[in-house]
Amino acid sequence: MQFSINRQAFIKALGIVQRAISAKTTIPILTGLMIDVSANNIQLTGSNADISIQTLISGDNPDYELTISSTGKIVLPAHFFSEIVKKLPNRELLVEVGDNFQTTIKSGNSEFTINGLDANGYPHLPEVDSEHPIQLPAEIFREVIGQTVIAVSKQESRPILTGIHFTLDHNQLLAVSTDSHRLSQRKVELPTAAEGDYNVVIPGESLKELSRMLDSEKDAIEMHLSENQVLFTFGKTRFYSRLLEGNYPDTSRLIPNSSETKVQFAAPDLLAAVERASLLSHESRNNVIKLTINPDNQVVTITGNSPDVGKVEEDLSPAEVSGADLEISFNPDYLKDALQVFGPIDVEVAFTSALRPFTITPVENQENFIQLITPVRTF
């Protein structure tokens, strides 16, 4: 196997697949990068068993300046190989595999030789049905991930809650996550209807990684589903993730249908006040802040208290307040996470009682995005 390539373009392709490669793995060969050289293309593969990423370097793309002299496959130690390629001196890079998988990497006057592994020992990537892909606008899907991944559980005691639950009915995609203390739900109308209904749970960690990769994507991505795997394809890249097994809890009953007290804020203003109040609450053992609402006087007061440090109290200026008086305590970090993903819009916070979960929704288009937070009992 032998090829030469533009080094900087190759570094970009390496960076894509390296996202899936971990130094901590029980399968030693997965610390490596698989390079599969065919007559006109090079396919790079990285995997950590949970996610796998493949990207294609096409000989038709002039940016790669690719010349293939002989074909073949090899697995190279990903960390060392990548560091070597980054530090080589010249524009052109030559990779050549000799006997016993000894691999020579040349650029200018620099030459490295590293030991590779037989690619036949690399695990096969899962077969995923590509008959009926689901088309997703990349920008919208990245937004959905960002708005729901904040509420996935970090506790492995209930593995199903470490993922985002996606259901698709014709052209309506519903994404839900909860860690049992808070919930995030987002609905999206897709441009084209899917063939069939879907109900899957995708690990939050996989989706975080995918979201970072979609930063520069402007086109639609395709989602392909099989029994225990999901495949996302975009550009020349294929992103595989395992699906979580089990039934996701029915979260629809958790969202209240009515409320006793409602307050409207500009999300950035409320976020800034919560951040100030949490400066002191973080110093206390229970990390709780309190919101006191007096609709008659149109006053909302936020209070943070730490017995060791002191107290903060701030009167807020809501755009609108209605309903009954209320005093409610909650974890400020949950509200900060929720408000950050709304961005610079007006939100409505709706309360049922001091001990029932409250919701945060955009003032406009309330049905499509709901965040829910469970209060803390302080007495």
Q: In which band, very low, low, confident or very high, does the pLDDT at 130 lie, cut at 50, 70 and 90?
A: low
Token couple for 308: 């060791």
Mean pLDDT of 263-270: 96
Per-residue b/e over 317-349, b at no fewer than 16 CB within 10 Å? ebeebeeeebebbbbbebbebbbebbeeebbbb
The first and second tokens of residue 8, run together, are: 């900087």
Q: How far apart are CA 187 and CA 319, in angstroms?
A: 26
Indicate whether 198 pLDDT > 90.
Answer: no
Write out pLDDT tens, residues 65-86.
999 999 999 999 999 999 999 9
Burial of 54 (0-12, 13-18, 19+ CB in 10 A): buried
List CB contacts of 114: < 8 A, sequence separation 6 or more. 76, 77, 80, 81, 84, 102, 103, 105
Q: Does position 345 have pLDDT exceeding 90, yes or no? A: yes
Predicted structure pTM score:
0.93
Phi-psi region at 343: left, alpha or beta (left = phi > 0; alpha = psi -120 to 50): left
**pLDDT, tens digit, 9 for 90 and up, residues 214-260:** 987 778 899 998 889 999 999 999 999 999 999 999 999 999 999 99
| Predicted pLDDT at 26 | 86
Q: What are phi and psi of 128, to 5 degrees?
A: -125, 130
SS3 9: helix
Cα-Cα-Cα-Cα dihedral sign, residues 58, 31, 96, 126? negative
Q: Which residues neighbour 244 within 8 Å (Cβ) at sequence distance 6 or greater? A: 159, 160, 162, 163, 201, 202, 203
**Cα–Cα distance between 67 and 33 in angstroms, integer?**
20
DSSP state for residue 173 in the 8-state scheme: E
CA–CA separation, 92 and 5 (whole Å):
6
Task: Give the model's pLDDT for residue 47.
Answer: 96
pLDDT-based confidence at residue 30 (cuts at 50, 70, 90): very high
Measured distance CA(34)–CA(210) in Å, rounded: 20
